[in-house]
Amino acid sequence: MKKVKKLVVGNWKMNPTSLEEAKKLVLSVKRSTRNLKRTEVVLCPPFIYLSAVSGFTGENIFLGAQNANHETVGSFTGEVSFAELSQFKVDYVILGHSERRKMGESDELINKKVRSVVGGGMNAIICIGESTRDSNGDFYGFLKQQILSSLKDVPKKLLGQIIIAYEPIWAVGAREAISPRDLHEMTIFIKKVLKDLCGVSADGTRILYGGDADRVNADELVKEGNVSGLLVGRESLNAKDFIEIIKLVDSI
């Protein structure tokens, strides 16, 4: 059986401010990642840079979008559809990021987007995460619900195109990542939810971690947390740091 590669996803969010900087960043990452053996890199620039960045895809670099509208075409001011994205060699779409949920995206809307994206042949990186951890463990139920609602009515044969990114909200953009030990618990929990849902082992579904992942904690988060890679925000904007993270993950 072909081994599924690890993934390091760079979520550029609303950065950088110029096209020149965007090109410089992708070029540096591309140059330094030619010899990866076990890892693929997904760069998720803002929509306006997708076309330029898509010119650098290939080898170990893949293109991702930070969002997609679930409708194919029509009167939706300011939106970009999943079908439009596929023209730019977009292979991955981040969906349900906590910053978008905060802007009002509901579980129901995220589910529609997931179905459109995987139905359109792309991979959906579904972000889930609790805002706080209560001592009763209620957040487990919350996360289970986020997974189940995002995958509602997704045909089982398309589940291979699903990636779950566990991103606890308290760690995103903060200076506090989860401990590798707690992350390991979360990985086991997410796999169990997926197994109960699909009836098969969820070993093929990649689970990523995001939230203050950096070059200092990358190695132990992936190794001890038993995840298939990382979703990196801030540190993906600094080529040197991001490349170091990628290489660390590849060496595991």
Residues designated catalytic: 97, 167
Q: Is 168 in the site for ligand PGA (CB under 6 A)?
A: no
When asked if residue 210 is in the footprint of ligand PGA (CB under 6 A), the reply is yes
Which residue, 152 or 247, is less far from ligand PGA as judged by CB?
247
Report which residue's Cβ sits closest to ligand PGA: 233
Phi-psi group of 58: left, alpha or beta (phi > 0 → left; psi -120 to 50 → alpha; rest → beta): left
Residues numbered 173-192 forming contacts with ligand PGA, rule: CB under 6 A: 173
Please choose, out of 134-142, 191-199, 216-224, 232-240, the segment that lies near ligand PGA by the rule CB under 6 A. 232-240
From 74-82, 109-117, 139-147, 207-215, give the range in contact with ligand PGA by CB under 6 A.
Answer: 207-215
Based on the shown chain and the rule CB under 6 A, indicate whether residue 10 belongs to the binding site for ligand PGA: no
213 binds ligand PGA (CB under 6 A): yes
| Residue 50 sits in the site that holds ligand PGA (CB under 6 A) | no
φ/ψ of 151, rounded to 5, equals -100, 5
232 binds ligand PGA (CB under 6 A): yes
Judge whether 68 and 50 are in contact, CB under 8 Å: no
How many Å apart are CA 36 and CA 58, to the nearest integer?
13
Query: C-beta of 170: minimal distance to ligand PGA in Å?
Result: 10
Residue 233: which of 58, 82, 99 has the closest Cα?
99
**CA-based nearest residue to 21, from 66, 52, 67:** 52
Least gap, CB of 171 to ligand PGA (angstroms)? 6
Contact map string, positions 73 to 102, toward ligand PGA, x by CB under 6 A? ------------------------------
Contact residue for ligand PGA among 40, 91, 130, 167 (CB under 6 A): 167
**CA atoms of 132 and 130, how far apart (whole Å):** 6
211 binds ligand PGA (CB under 6 A): yes
Q: What sections of the chain are H helices per DSSP?
A: 19-32, 47-54, 82-85, 98-102, 107-119, 138-150, 180-198, 218-225, 239-250
| Residue 129 near ligand PGA by CB under 6 A | no
**Phi-psi bin for 127: left (phi > 0), alpha (psi -120 to 50), beta?**
beta
Structure-token match 């905060």, residue found: 102
Question: Is residue 69 within 8 Å of 140, Cβ to Cβ?
Answer: no
Geometric angle at alpha carbon 129, from 190 and 121, rounded to 5°: 70
Q: Is 231 in the site for ligand PGA (CB under 6 A)?
A: yes
Q: What is the binding site for ligand PGA (CB under 6 A)?
A: 11, 167, 172-173, 210-213, 231-234
